[in-house]
Amino acid sequence: MAGQVLVLNASYEPINVCSLQRAVVLVLKDKAEVIEQAARRLRSATSSHALPLVIRLVYYVKVPRNRSRRVSRRALFARDGFRCQYCGSRHDLTVDHVLPRSRGGESTWENTLTCCSGCNLRKADRTPDEAGMTPERTQRAPGPAVFITAAAGGRPPSWERYLSTI
C-alpha cells in the first residue's frame, strides 16, 4: 500500500490506483493535480515536491460503466472483508463455490465466496443447504471501491472520503 496513489477522475470519482512515481510524473506534466498530500515532502537535490496520496486527473476519462470484472481471489477476499463467510475465521482463506464446480457451479461473483479451508473441507461437494452451512450474506459483484482496495492491498485513511462515495 505504501507508495500507492489513489487516482480520481476529473469528476472526483475514484477510478484506480497508480504508483507514486507515475503520480508525480502526471502532476509534473500538468495532467493531474494533487488533492491530498503527505505531511512530508519529496526532496531532490534541486527542488522539493508534494508527496501525493490522492491525485485528480485534469481531463475527464471515460470509464465504462458496469464493466463485468473477472473474479479474483484478492477482490473476492476484499469484498467479503477477509473473513470466512461461514464461520468468520480470518485464517487459511480460500474460494468456495456455493454450487460446487463438480456440479456445474461457475466462477461468478454470485457463486463464489471467501471460505476458510476447514469450512471448505467440511462443505465438500455439497450446497450450503445440503451441508447445513449458511453464508453470512448473498453474494454479488462488488462495487469499484472493492477493486481499488484490492489493487492497493489496503485502504489508507486519506482515501476514505473519496472511496466512501462509490
Closest CA to 147 of 157, 137, 155, 139: 155
Chain-centroid distance of CA 41 in Å reads 27
Query: Which range touches Zn ion (CB under 5 A), out of 8-16, 94-102, 110-118, 121-129?
Result: 110-118
Query: Which range touches Zn ion (CB under 5 A), out of 15-23, 25-33, 76-84, 142-150?
Result: 76-84
- Contact status: 98 vs Zn ion (CB under 5 A): no
Residue 148 to residue 154: CA distance in whole angstroms: 9
- Contact status: 117 vs Zn ion (CB under 5 A): no
Chain-centroid distance of CA 1 in Å reads 12
Q: Which amino acid is at 140?
A: R
End-to-end CA distance of the chain: 20
113 and 135 Cβ atoms separated by less than 8 Å: yes
- Contact status: 116 vs Zn ion (CB under 5 A): yes
> Of 25, 63, 87, 121, which one interacts with Zn ion (CB under 5 A)?
87
Burial of 99 from C-beta contacts in 10 A (0-12 / 13-18 / 19+): middle
Q: At its nearest, how many Å lie between Zn ion and the CB of residue 111?
A: 18
48 and 40 Cβ atoms separated by less than 8 Å: no
Q: At its nearest, how many Å lie between Zn ion and the CB of residue 30?
A: 50
Query: Which range touches Zn ion (CB under 5 A), out of 17-25, 52-60, 69-77, 113-121?
Result: 113-121
- Contact status: 89 vs Zn ion (CB under 5 A): yes
Query: Which range touches Zn ion (CB under 5 A), out of 50-58, 69-77, 88-96, 137-145?
Result: 88-96
Q: Which is nearer to Zn ion, 28 or 87 (CB)?
A: 87
Q: By CB under 5 A, what part of segment 122-151 binds Zn ion?
A: none
Interface residue list for Zn ion (CB under 5 A): 84, 86-87, 89, 116, 119
